Amino acid sequence: MKVLILCTGNSCRSQMAHGFLQSFDPSITVCSAGTEASGKLNKKAVQVMSEIGIDISQHTSDPVGKYLNDEWDYVITVCGGANESCPAFIGKVKKRLHIGFDDPSHAVGTDEFIMSEFYRVRDEIKARFHEFYLQNIK
């Protein structure tokens, strides 16, 4: 089973989804990429995942072009805001899905509020990807 998770920057939401899906079943090949890959991970995303025992610190922020020639069972987009464009994937895919989430890296306010957004989105990603895993893969 091969799953590609797409977002715009590939620094936060797609990385968390990648970490969760891989933690549910290490036998799945999971990759993540972005249409405008930032080249680095969001430090707060790495932190909130580490706090629940999932280390994504060694993930890389990759451009979607790296995966266009591969075959995928699922390609899942995770960008959620109406003002954000989700990437289109033109590679070889059996099923395309969209499971959207707010971008916590756009949160504005106190440090406490910003971190609360990272925790909220992390927990939403965990719940939705666990549901996806149980319904489509397990």
Which positions are catalytic? 7, 79, 86
Angstrom CA distances, 20 to 27, 54, 64, 106, 120, stand at: 13, 8, 20, 22, 15
Least Cα distance to 33 among 65, 74, 79 occurs for 65
Sign of CA dihedral 96, 81, 8, 88: positive
Least Cα distance to 18 among 36, 30, 1 occurs for 30
